[in-house]
């Protein structure tokens, strides 16, 4: 019985650590650059696009903000569709298994 209690305690501790890590990732913002810094993309630690900057010399200045917003929206739309498809495929693979909602595999 001690082994089961120890395993449950370890699982609980691991869950708490995973939740902490996920919260830290949600707050993290990373920036990628290309073209010698002429284009930069900001993503959250979870991969959500937070912003995009395009050097004005690459565009008509009056259209830059519209293009930036459209790129952010398109990226987020594609990411959402990709995640939905991954969940659909995972549901096919795990059909009948009692996996809690929101649990991502592989661990």
Please give the pLDDT value at position 1.
56
Number of domains in the chain: 1
Residue 97 resides in a domain: no
The β-bridge partners of 21 are: none
Residue 41 resides in a domain: yes
pLDDT by residue for the chain (107 residues), tens only, comes to: 568 887 788 778 777 877 887 777 778 888 889 888 888 888 887 778 888 888 888 888 888 888 888 888 888 888 888 878 777 777 776 665 555 666 665 44
Buried b (16+ CB within 10 A) or exposed e, 50-77: eebebeeeeeeeeeeeeeeeebbeebee
Summarised one tens digit per residue, pLDDT across range 70-90 is 888 888 888 888 878 777 777
Domain CATH for 74: 3.30.1310
**Length of the chain counted residue by residue:** 107
**Can you tell me whether residue 32 is helix, strand or coil?**
strand
Residue-range definition of the domain harbouring residue 61: 2-92
Please give the pLDDT value at position 107.
46
Residue 12 resides in a domain: yes
Q: What are phi and psi of 43, to 5 degrees?
A: -125, 150
DSSP state of 34: E
Q: What tokens does 91 get?
A: 């549901």
Residue 31 resides in a domain: yes
Residue 6 resides in a domain: yes
Rounded Cα distance, 29 and 71, in Å = 18
């Amino acid at each position: 019985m001690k082994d089961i209690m120890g395993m449950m305690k370890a699982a609980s501790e691991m869950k708490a650590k995973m939740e902490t890590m996920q919260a830290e990732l949600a707050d993290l913002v990373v920036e990628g650059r290309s073209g010698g810094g002429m284009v930069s993309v900001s993503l959250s630690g979870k991969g959500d696009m937070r912003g995009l900057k395009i050097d004005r010399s690459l565009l008509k200045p009056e259209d830059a903000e519209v293009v930036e917003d459209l790129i952010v929206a398109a990226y987020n739309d594609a990411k959402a569709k990709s995640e939905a498809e991954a969940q659909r495929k995972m549901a096919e693979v795990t059909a009948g298994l009692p996996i809690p909602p929101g649990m991502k595999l592989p661990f």
